[in-house]
């Protein structure tokens, strides 16, 4: 019976081992390798009410490089990248599609109304099913989609201007040339 008092330390040891492993072997900004250069998973979603005709897998293969941004109205970090997306839209740098993740359609519509809509099309992923297919780990995430609808890269966390220049702009130029 006295060994039951060791349960807490054993439980913690388990947690510590996993965290140690996570620290050295997992990169939270890493894309699951099996998705790179694969076509985007199949899906078809309703739009955020009032924002476009909906979003499906076929909409992503547009003949040019586009971004698929996973966002939610409850996501604080999405507000950080949002002004930059508005700027990209204003400069017409790249088309951005919005995947609204585990949100209520009304909240998403209000969020877009208030902050502005940087998206060409939007899709509501109410239960996060499509997010799971895409391997969405947290919100926001941004996928770079090739002209033929394949996933080229994925950025976890808010997209900053530096990150855009380093990781996304080369892909845009690569497709253009």
Partner 1 sequence: MVAEIGQFVLILALITAIFQGVFPLIGAAQNSQPMMRFASNAALVQFLAVTAAFICLTVGYVTSDFSILNVANNSHSLKPMLYKISGVWGNHEGSLLLWSLILALFGLAVAVFGRNLPDTLKARVLSIQGLVGVGFLMFILFTSNPFERLDPAPLDGSGLNPLLQDPGLAFHPPFLYLGYVGLSVTFSFAIAALIEGKVDPAWARWVRPWTLAAWGFLTVGIALGSWWAYYELGWGGWWFWDPVENASFMPWLAATALLHSAIVVEKRDALKNWTILLAIIAFSLSLLGTFLVRSGVLNSVHAFASDPARGVFILIFLIVVIGGSLLLYGIRAPQMKGGGLFAPISREGALVLNNLLLSTATATILLGTLYPIFLDAFTGAKVSVGPPYFEATFLPLAIPLVIAMAFGPFLAWKRGDLAGVISRLKFGLFLSLLLVGFIWWQQTDAPVMAFVGMGLFAWLLIGSLLEWSDRIKLFRGPLSSSWRRMKQVPRSAHGMTVAHIGVALVVLGITASETWQTEHLGVMRPGEIVSVGGYDFRFDGAETIAGPNYEAVRGTFLASTGSNKGDYLYPEQRRYTTPPMETTEAAIRPMLSADLYVVIGEEDGTGGYAVRIYHKPFISWIWIGSFVMFFGGALSLSDRRLRLGAPRRTRQQKAVATDLSGVKG
Count CB atoms within 10 A of the CB of residue 168: 21
**Whose Cβ is closer to partner 1: residue 59's or residue 103's?**
103
How many helices (H) and strands (E) in the chain? 7, 7
Point out which residues bind partner 1 (CB under 8 A). 1-2, 5-9, 12-13, 15-16, 18-23, 25-26, 28-29, 32, 72-77, 79-80, 83, 101-102, 107, 110-111, 113-116, 128, 131-132, 135-139, 156-157
**Whose Cβ is closer to partner 1: residue 9's or residue 36's?**
9
* Min separation Cβ 45 and partner 1, Å: 17
Residue 135's SS3 state is coil
**Whose Cβ is closer to partner 1: residue 62's or residue 115's?**
115
Pairwise CA distance, residues 108 & 71, whole Å:
9
CA dihedral defined by 114, 100, 104, 111, rounded to 10 degrees? -10
Q: 166 CB contacts (<8 Å, ≥6 apart)? A: none
* Min separation Cβ 166 and partner 1, Å: 17
Residue 39's SS3 state is strand
* Min separation Cβ 88 and partner 1, Å: 15
* Min separation Cβ 117 and partner 1, Å: 11
Do 121 and 86 touch, CB atoms closer than 8 A?
no
**Whose Cβ is closer to partner 1: residue 115's or residue 167's?**
115
Pairwise CA distance, residues 166 & 17, whole Å:
34
**Whose Cβ is closer to partner 1: residue 7's or residue 91's?**
7
* Min separation Cβ 143 and partner 1, Å: 13
């Amino acid at each position: 019976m006295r060994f039951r008092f060791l349960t807490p330390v054993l439980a913690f040891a388990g947690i510590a081992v996993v965290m140690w492993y996570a620290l050295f072997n997992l990169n939270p900004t890493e894309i699951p390798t099996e998705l790179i250069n694969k076509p985007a998973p199949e899906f078809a979603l309703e739009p955020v009410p009032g924002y476009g005709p909906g979003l499906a897998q076929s909409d992503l293969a547009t003949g040019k490089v586009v971004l698929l941004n996973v966002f939610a109205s409850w996501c604080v970090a999405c507000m950080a990248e949002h002004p930059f997306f508005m700027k990209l839209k204003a400069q017409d740098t790249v088309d951005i599609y919005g995947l609204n993740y585990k949100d209520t359609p009304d909240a998403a519509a209000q969020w877009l109304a208030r902050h502005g809509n940087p998206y060409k099309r939007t899709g509501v992923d109410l239960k996060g099913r499509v997010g799971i297919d895409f391997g969405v780990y947290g919100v926001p995430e941004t996928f770079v989609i090739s002209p033929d609808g394949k996933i080229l890269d994925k950025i976890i966390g808010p997209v900053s201007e530096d990150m855009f220049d380093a990781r996304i702009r080369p892909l845009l130029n690569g497709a253009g040339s």
